[in-house]
């Protein structure tokens, strides 16, 4: 019999349509997997077994009548515990959030999933307020890598990445303010897309401002396109949301990469030291795109590391999100979060606006870069997953998580679409990701290239 936890959303929907199995069976399989992995991997804040089962039964009846509610009817999904899910507390990985209250609203992307008939399996783990590139918090503890539980799943959408990788639902909603869907997806060996800023509405607004994106975390680009079609529509609660997309993101997936102009930057012009196993796996994937007809050349975008500007915006956002906490609740925060909040509170308005100037110049440079190149390829990360429970790898010399994520956060500053695609493993059997970046509003090109690499790790 088919193991339903190994199927993509596209494959599940095809099975429902043909009557090979039902949403009840698929949901039961996802819930069983979630319960089984939770003790070792710790991907979930809560598993919604009764609610998901009821939703799946209702979906089964709709499919029996030939009247599915929408394009994801009966598909098991998970939601990072940064995004509101009606009827359940959204604790954001923090003891400082009061779980009491009505919790009577869905975030925009969650609302679109509900309208499309998706089945909510559970809420997934996050570091406190999504502040860092690994997933551990004072509230929920450490989330571990599905390939080696002694190592981190990455973050901040680490629970979502682990859940998808291990079959607890093929689709998940993550958030990405500096790499937070791409980092854990690369560490866990799945696909993830940070769409163009505003493509997926966000409410409540993030304290990290226009750095923060909502994005699909899936097994492949086809499922990401399917999910983006559902969630990438306007919502009046987000004043910065884009208008409707020009057609379906699934429509052009099979057009391939022939004729696309592709820049491959293995180290951002020598600025990043990339481990040999990562570099080799990424280069093989780049060569595969060339074999498929892309015009590939090594070329580096014209910018130096914007980490200081990113820190100013990120740390100030962290200070803002925690500024109303009393002394007792502030004391319960992750010590690293307390540190960056204190630093962020010391910045002046001029410091912040100087960082905005750096951001605007970076955006201009990348805009000009994409006048020449359709796509930019880099490693998603220069390393593979390291020990769980720490912010930076032992002996790395880094102080903050941004020290080992230099390929991700620049493209939050520029608001460009960026995806990570699994392209193999290093010598330790740990997943490696290739990052694909395009100009703003060209999410379709990122998805096309990711789809071209399917089945080619």
Condensed to tens digits (0 to 9), the pLDDT of residues 142-156 reads 999 999 999 999 999
Q: Which of 22, 94, 137, 156 is catalytic?
A: 156
Helix axes 307-322, 335-345, angle to 10 degrees: 100
Q: Are 320 and 285 in contact (CB under 8 A)?
A: no
Rounded to the nearest 5°, which phi and psi values hold at 421?
-120, 130
For residue 274, give both structure tokens: 């990339």
Same fold, 4-253 and 257-307+347-452: yes
Q: How far apart are the first and last CA of the chain?
A: 26
Bridge partners of 144, per DSSP, are 152
| Residue 180 annotated as catalytic | yes
Superfamily of domain 4-253: Amidase signature (AS) domain (3.90.1300.10)
* Close Cβ partners of 350 (under 8 Å, ≥ 6 residues apart): none
- Residue 141, CA distances (Å) to 127, 182, 188 in order: 9, 21, 18
Secondary structure class of 226 (helix, strand, coil): helix
Cα distance between residue 38 and residue 48, in whole Å: 13
Secondary structure class of 347 (helix, strand, coil): coil
Cα distance between residue 262 and residue 377, in whole Å: 7
What strands, in cross-sheet order, belong to the sheet with 76-80? 44-47, 119-124, 76-80, 171-176, 213-218, 191-194, 418-425, 431-438, 375-379, 261-264, 295-298
Cα–Cα nearest to 412, from 128, 206, 234, 180: 180
Q: Are 212 and 202 in contact (CB under 8 A)?
A: yes
Show me where the domains of the chain are located. Answer: 4-253, 257-307+347-452
How many angstroms from the chain centroid is the CA of residue 49? Answer: 24
Number of residues that make up the chain: 457
CATH classification code of 257-307+347-452: 3.90.1300.10
Q: What is the pTM of this model?
A: 0.98
Q: To the nearest 10°, report the CA torsion of 121, 122, 125, 128.
A: 150
Cα distance between residue 80 and residue 90, in whole Å: 9
Q: Which of 94, 96, 172, 180 is catalytic?
A: 180
Q: Are 88 and 50 in contact (CB under 8 A)?
A: no
| Residue 100 annotated as catalytic | no
pLDDT per residue, tens digit, the chain (457 aa), is 789 999 999 999 999 999 999 999 999 999 999 999 999 999 999 999 999 999 999 999 999 999 999 999 999 999 999 999 999 999 999 999 999 988 999 999 999 999 999 999 999 999 999 999 999 999 999 999 999 999 999 999 999 999 999 999 999 999 999 999 999 999 999 999 999 999 999 999 998 999 999 999 999 999 999 999 999 999 999 999 999 999 999 999 999 999 999 999 999 999 999 999 999 999 999 999 999 999 999 999 999 999 999 999 999 999 999 998 988 899 999 999 999 999 999 999 999 999 999 999 999 999 999 999 999 999 999 999 999 999 999 999 999 999 999 999 999 999 999 999 999 999 999 999 999 999 999 999 999 999 999 854 3
Cα distance between residue 188 and residue 238, in whole Å: 31
User: How would you class 435 by CB atoms within 10 Å of its CB: exposed for 0-12, middle for 13-18, buried for 19 or more?
Assistant: buried
| Residue 248 annotated as catalytic | no
């Amino acid at each position: 019999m088919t193991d339903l936890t190994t199927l993509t959303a596209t494959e599940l929907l095809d099975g429902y349509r043909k009557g090979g199995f039902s949403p009840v069976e698929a949901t039961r399989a996802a819930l069983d997997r979630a319960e089984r992995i939770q003790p070792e991997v710790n991907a979930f804040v809560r598993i919604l077994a009764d609610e998901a089962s009821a939703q799946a039964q209702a979906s089964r009846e709709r499919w029996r009548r030939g009247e599915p509610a929408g394009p994801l009817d009966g598909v098991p999904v998970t939601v990072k515990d940064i995004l509101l899910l009606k009827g359940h507390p959204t604790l954001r990985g923090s003891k400082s959030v009061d779980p009491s209250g009505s919790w009577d609203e869905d975030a925009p992307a969650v609302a679109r999933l509900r309208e499309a008939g998706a089945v909510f399996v559970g809420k997934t783990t996050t570091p406190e307020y999504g502040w860092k590139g690994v997933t551990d918090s004072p509230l929920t503890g450490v989330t571990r890598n599905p390939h080696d539980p002694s190592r981190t799943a990455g973050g901040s959408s680490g629970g979502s990445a682990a859940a998808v990788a291990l079959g607890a639902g093929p689709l998940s909603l993550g958030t990405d303010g500096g790499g937070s869907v791409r980092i854990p997806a690369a560490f866990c060996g799945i696909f993830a897309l940070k769409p163009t800023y505003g493509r997926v509405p966000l409410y409540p607004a993030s304290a990290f401002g226009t750095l923060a994106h909502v994005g699909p975390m899936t097994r492949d680009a086809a499922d990401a396109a399917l999910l983006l079609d559902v969630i990438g529509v306007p919502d009046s609660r987000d004043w910065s949301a884009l208008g409707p997309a020009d057609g379906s993101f699934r429509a052009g997936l099979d057009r391939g990469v022939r004729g696309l102009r592709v820049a491959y930057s293995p180290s951002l012009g020598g600025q990043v030291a990339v481990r040999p196993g990562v570099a080799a796996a990424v280069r093989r994937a780049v060569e595969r795109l060339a074999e498929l007809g892309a015009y590939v050349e090594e070329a580096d975008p014209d910018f130096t590391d914007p980490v200081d500007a990113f820190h100013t915006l990120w740390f100030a956002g962290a200070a803002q999100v925690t500024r109303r906490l009393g002394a007792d609740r502030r004391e319960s925060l992750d010590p690293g979060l307390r540190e960056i909040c204190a630093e962020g509170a010391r910045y002046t308005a001029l410091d912040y606006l100087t960082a905005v100037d750096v951001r605007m110049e970076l955006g201009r440079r990348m805009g000009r870069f994409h006048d020449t190149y359709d796509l930019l390829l880099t490693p998603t990360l220069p390393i593979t997953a390291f020990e769980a429970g720490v912010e930076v790898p032992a002996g790395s010399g880094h102080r903050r998580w941004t020290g080992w994520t230099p390929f991700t956060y620049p493209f939050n500053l520029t608001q460009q679409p960026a995806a990570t695609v699994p392209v193999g493993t290093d010598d330790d059997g740990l997943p490696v990701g290739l990052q694909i970046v395009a100009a703003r509003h060209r999410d379709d090109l990122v998805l096309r290239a990711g789809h071209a690499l399917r089945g080619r790790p």
